[in-house]
Structure 1
Amino acid sequence: MVRAPDLSGLDRPERVRALKAALATLDGGASPVTAADLRSASVPGTTPGGRHRSLPAAGKTGAAGVTAHSVVPVPGVLADCLPGGGLPRRAITAAADCPAFIIELLAAATGGGSHVAVVGWPELLLTGVAEAGGDLDSIVVVPDPGDRPFAVTGMLVEGMDMVVHRSAENVQINATQARPLLARVRRGTAALLVVGARFPAPAVRIGADVTAYHGVGAGSGRIRGFDVSLEIATKGTPPREVLLRVGRNPGTDDVPVGALRVPRIPDLRVVRTG
């Protein structure tokens, strides 16, 4: 097992620095960087062009015993569907492989003051976080976690506010394999968001599909926003469907904006348009 440094007595920025230093010493070099260092990276995008502001983040008091301190902030429409109004800390959330949605989560979390790590997702265009009102300086990125990706994630969950772990393939994790990571999640401080890997009995499941683009009409125009259809399921409650609207939507522009509907296509991606 990869051991985390002693984080007792450290504030959040100090914890982040200690974790980055520890990751850099791993065999194979996990090579952590800050997302702000990737501003000019030319990689496949995840958000439409043009600046936009995310929906307000929320982390309110919810179910009995659940407070803002036990969750990580999320966009407001999603907060209304989650106990405590955010992603639960010390628990696993399974999310769909929808980069546009992940960018919005990162923007809401860092915009609310959280420190986040992204593991195993080198093509995720994190500059979209800044466009959505988030803070790139609050994101640590481990593009290639090597041959022990969950060991790297296990270290990070002990000191970050949220960790996004993406597996390139749809990996099935059984209960025995999940036990060491889950133990670290429970004694840590982070909400762990897994994409691709299938864990047994996650606390929350979130499905996400981009279903419409706004700003394009009659073959012309510029994408100014998009809709993400979400399905949220938590333990003991039936799934709920909500619509996350991102960017400049109909009703906020000086001129009418057309909506381009798109079918639900597996592995749909949103790419930067300018």
Structure 2
Amino acid sequence: MGSEASSPEADARELVLADLRRRMSAVPARGQEATARIPGEQPLRRDLLPVPAPLAELLPGGGLPKGAVVAYSGAHSLLAGLLAAVTGDGGYAAVVGLPRLGLLAAAEMGAQLSRLAVIADPGPDPGEVAAVLLDGLDLVILGLDGVAVPPARCRVLAARARNRGATLVVAGGGWTDPALRLDTRVSGYDGLGAGRGRLRSVCLDVRVSAKSGRPRHGRMDLCAKAGRTEWLARDTMSRVAEVTDLREAVS
């Protein structure tokens, strides 16, 4: 243990974490900045983070709960939508361990990249990096790369998120007892033609499962319009998820 603590790898990791902590201290405190809203628009509850409008219809309260852990699986496009919704509304976010998550796609959805930190390679302990980021950011998306996090570590990180009032989204791995589960599947495309057409939209099937209440299921389209990418609801349903498993919607 002693030799590991003084190894070059451990020293480099401590330097990275120290740098992250310095950067977190420079981030404005949550709530200091506000974003102007459209007149008549229903304000979001203070204990929720904004999400794309079609997803809000499926979530309890209409947003992601602050201070909670959300387990996510499926298409990265909705993760980009979460980043766009939070940073576009004046919040700060980070992506850890997801090098293939498209920042261009997030920007086309309205993300403010100046409010977004990206740690593509967090090293051997991405959870420790995420824990530091939770100190100062509103949303942290952590890629687990197929790893199942031990229950004791889940409890530690969940407590960190709760105490800091930040939302942790864990993607692509196993997590014990999250507040919400979001599962997405691409169920179709529109605009492709004989190998030469242009992709106009992607349809996602989304399932939301909370600790209490029955799961909700809905469909939403991700549409390209004049250099922007918009989310549109398609036959959104707040019904129980005894429906056909979402995997059957994917060929």
Distance 1:175 1:94 in 2: 14
The aligned runs of 1:254-273 (5 Å cut-off) are 264=250
Among 218, 221, 224, the residue aligned to 1:242: 218
Corresponding residue number in structure 2 for 1:89: 66
Distance 1:218 1:124 in 2: 28
Among 201, 205, 215, the residue aligned to 2:191: 215
Corresponding residue number in structure 2 for 1:72: 49
Corresponding residue number in structure 2 for 1:202: 178
Stretch deviating more after TM superposition (96-105 or 198-207): 96-105
Corresponding residue number in structure 1 for 2:154: 178
Distance 1:114 1:244 in 2: 24
For structure 2, the 5+ residue unaligned runs are 1-11, 24-37, 226-247
Shift of 1:28: 6.4
Q: Give 3-state SS (helix, strand or coil) of 1:236's partner.
A: coil
How many percent of aligned residue pairs carry the same amino acid? 34
Would the alpha carbon gap of residues 122 and 248 (structure 1) be closer, same or farther in structure 2, given more than 3 Å must change? closer
Distance 1:239 1:60 in 2: 24
The yes-or-no answer on 1:121 pairing with 2:98 is yes
Q: Are 1:159 and 1:189, in contact at CA under 8 Å, matched by a contact in 2?
A: no
- Superposition TM-score, scaled by structure 1 size: 0.66
Deviations along 1:67-91, one digit per CA (max 9) or x if unpaired, are 6221111011111221221111111
Deviations along 1:170-227, one digit per CA (max 9) or x if unpaired, are x222322222212211111311100023211111101001111111235542001111
Query: 1 or 2 for the larger relative contact order (CA 8 Å, sep ≥6)?
Result: 1
The aligned runs of 1:132-211 (5 Å cut-off) are 132-169=109-146, 171-211=147-187
Among 99, 122, 131, the residue aligned to 2:76: 99
Corresponding residue number in structure 2 for 1:43: none
Shift of 1:145: 1.1
Would the alpha carbon gap of residues 155 and 87 (structure 1) be closer, same or farther in structure 2, given more than 3 Å must change? same
Distance 1:189 1:264 in 2: 36
The yes-or-no answer on 1:131 pairing with 2:108 is yes
Corresponding residue number in structure 1 for 2:16: 29
Corresponding residue number in structure 1 for 2:203: 227
Corresponding residue number in structure 1 for 2:33: none
Q: Give 3-state SS (helix, strand or coil) of 1:146's partner.
A: coil
Shift of 1:138: 1.2
Distance 1:175 1:60 in 2: 38
Q: Are 1:153 and 1:165, in contact at CA under 8 Å, matched by a contact in 2?
A: yes
Distance 2:115 2:153 in 1: 30
Q: Give 3-state SS (helix, strand or coil) of 2:199's partner.
A: strand
Shift of 1:98: 1.5
Q: Give 3-state SS (helix, strand or coil) of 2:16's partner.
A: coil
Distance 2:90 2:201 in 1: 25
Stretch deviating more after TM superposition (213-222 or 97-106): 213-222
Distance 1:60 1:210 in 2: 30
Cα RMSD, aligned residues only: 2.6
Corresponding residue number in structure 1 for 2:240: none
For structure 1, the 5+ residue unaligned runs are 1-24, 35-55, 62-66, 250-261, 266-274
Distance 1:248 1:197 in 2: 30
Q: Give every structure 1 segment of 4 or more consecutive aligned residues whose post-TM-superposition deviation is greater than 6 Å.
A: none
Alignment length (residue pairs): 199
Q: Give 3-state SS (helix, strand or coil) of 1:210's partner.
A: strand
Q: Give 3-state SS (helix, strand or coil) of 1:108's partner.
A: helix
Which one-letter code corresponds to 1:232 in the other structure? V
Distance 1:161 1:111 in 2: 12
Q: Are 1:60 and 1:85, in contact at CA under 8 Å, matched by a contact in 2?
A: no
Would the alpha carbon gap of residues 172 and 106 (structure 1) be closer, same or farther in structure 2, given more than 3 Å must change? same
Distance 1:85 1:185 in 2: 20
Would the alpha carbon gap of residues 178 and 186 (structure 1) be closer, same or farther in structure 2, given more than 3 Å must change? same
